[in-house]
Structure 1
Amino acid sequence: MDQGQKLRIGILISDTDNLRNDQFNLIQHVVSHPSLELCVLIGKSSGGKGKFAYLYNNWSNEKGNTLLKRLFFFHLKWESKLFKQWKTVDPGKIIKEISGVERITISPDEGDPDKNNHAFDRIKEIGLDLIIASDNIFCPPELSALVQKGIWQLWFGENLKDGSGPSGFSEIVTRESFCTVLLIQQSGGKASPMLIDKAYYNRDWFFMKSFFDTRYAALGLLFKNIERVIANPDVTGSPIAAAQNSVIPGMKYLFRYMRSYYSRLAFIAISRPLYKIFHIKRECWALFLGEGDFFKADIRRSAPQPMPKNEFWADPFLISRDGKSYVFFENYSYETKIAKISAGSIENNRIKDVRDVLVKNYHLSYPHLVEEDGVLYLIPETGGSMRLEVYKCVEFPYSWELYSTHFEGEYIGDTTYFQDEKGDRWLFLNKGKSINSELYIYKIDNLRMERVVPHAMNPVYIDCRKARNAGSVFKYEEEYYRPNQRNIDGIYGRELGINKIKVLTLTEYEEELIRVIKPDFKKGLQAIHTFNQIPGLFVVDGCYTFK
Structure 2
Amino acid sequence: MDISKKHRIGILVKNLEQKNFNGELICSLLSNENIEIDTILVNTEGNNKNKILDIAKKYSFKRIFEKILFKFLIFFEKLIFNISNSNINFKKINLETLESKKIYLKPNIDTIKNIYTYSDNDIKKIVDRNLDALIRLESGIIKGKLLDSTKKGILSFHHADSDLYRGLPPGFWEVYFKNATTGFVIQKINEQLDGGELIFKGNTITKPYFFLNQQFVFKQSIKYLNNTLNDYLSNNNFKFLDKEPYKSKIYKEPKFKELFSYIFNTYFFILKKIYFKFAGFKEIWNICYTAQKFKKENLQNYKIINNHKKRFFADPFVVKFKDLNYIFVEDYSFKNRRGQISCFEINNNEEKFLGCVLSENFHLSFPFVFKFNDEFFMCPETKEKKEIRIYKCKKFPNEWAYFKTLINKINAVDTIIFEKNNIWWLITNTDKNNLEFSSELSIFYSEDGPLTTNWKAHKNNPVIVNANKARNAGFYNDGKNIFRVSQRIGFNTYGTGFDINTINDISKNSYTEILKEKINCNFFEDSIGTHHLTSIENFSAIDIKRFSNQS
TM range (shorter): 0.7 to 0.9
Q: Deviations over 1:308-355 (max 9, x none)?
A: 332232211111223332222222232333223222323454543352
Gap change, CA 1:396 and 1:243, over 3 Å in 2: same
SS at match of 1:497: strand
Which moves more between the two structures, 461-470 or 451-460? 451-460
How much has 1:73 moved relative to structure 2? Answer: 2.7
Q: What is the letter of the counterpart of residue 156 of structure 1? A: H
Which moves more between the two structures, 383-392 or 164-173? 164-173
How many residues are aligned here? 527
* Corresponding residue number in structure 2 for 1:535: 537
Paired residues of 1:494 and 1:527 also in contact (CA < 8 A): yes
* Corresponding residue number in structure 2 for 1:38: 37
How much has 1:168 moved relative to structure 2? Answer: 2.1
Is 1:506 aligned with 2:508?
Answer: yes
Q: What is the letter of the counterpart of residue 242 of structure 1? A: Y
* Corresponding residue number in structure 1 for 2:64: 66
Query: How far apart in 2 are the matches of 1:398 and 1:161?
Result: 51
Q: Given the alignment, which residue of 246, 250, 253 partners 2:255?
A: 250
How much has 1:227 moved relative to structure 2? Answer: 3.4
Paired residues of 2:316 and 2:534 also in contact (CA < 8 A): yes
Query: How far apart in 2 are the matches of 1:13 and 1:335?
Result: 51
SS at match of 1:272: helix
Q: Given the alignment, which residue of 484, 491, 496 partners 2:486?
A: 484
Paired residues of 2:88 and 2:215 also in contact (CA < 8 A): no
Gap change, CA 1:355 and 1:492, over 3 Å in 2: same
Is 1:268 aligned with 2:273?
Answer: yes
Which moves more between the two structures, 3-12 or 266-275? 3-12
How much has 1:178 moved relative to structure 2? Answer: 2.7
Is 1:232 aligned with 2:243?
Answer: no
Gap change, CA 1:269 and 1:296, over 3 Å in 2: closer
Query: How far apart in 2 are the matches of 1:283 and 1:152?
Result: 43
How much has 1:135 moved relative to structure 2? Answer: 7.8
1:68-147 equivalences under 5 Å are: 68-84=66-82, 86=86, 91=91, 99-101=98-100, 109-111=108-110, 120-134=123-137, 138-147=141-150
Q: What is the letter of the counterpart of residue 29 of structure 1? A: S
Query: How far apart in 1 are the matches of 2:58 and 2:6?
Result: 38
SS at match of 1:493: strand
* Corresponding residue number in structure 1 for 2:527: 525
Percent of paired sites with the same residue: 23
How much has 1:123 moved relative to structure 2? Answer: 3.7
Counting strand residues as a fraction of each chain, which structure ranks higher?
Answer: 2
Gap change, CA 1:247 and 1:193, over 3 Å in 2: closer
* Corresponding residue number in structure 2 for 1:372: 372
Unaligned 5+ residue runs, structure 2?
A: 49-56
Q: What is the letter of the counterpart of residue 28 of structure 1? A: C
Q: What is the letter of the counterpart of residue 511 of structure 2? A: Y
SS at match of 1:329: strand
Paired residues of 1:491 and 1:527 also in contact (CA < 8 A): no
Paired residues of 1:289 and 1:302 also in contact (CA < 8 A): yes
Q: Given the alignment, which residue of 191, 200, 217 partners 2:220?
A: 217
Q: What is the letter of the counterpart of residue 542 of structure 1? A: I
Query: How far apart in 2 are the matches of 1:496 and 1:136?
Result: 41
Is 1:468 aligned with 2:471?
Answer: yes
1:245-394 equivalences under 5 Å are: 245=249, 247-248=251-252, 249-275=254-280, 280=281, 282-295=282-295, 297-347=297-347, 349=349, 351-394=351-394
What TM-score does the superposition give when structure 1 sets the normalisation length? 0.85
SS at match of 2:504: strand
Paired residues of 2:317 and 2:327 also in contact (CA < 8 A): yes
Q: Deviations over 1:54-104 (max 9, x none)?
A: xxxxxx987642222222332332222333454567736x55995545555
Paired residues of 2:521 and 2:544 also in contact (CA < 8 A): yes
How much has 1:389 moved relative to structure 2? Answer: 1.0
Unaligned 5+ residue runs, structure 1?
A: 50-59
1:397-412 equivalences under 5 Å are: 397-412=397-412
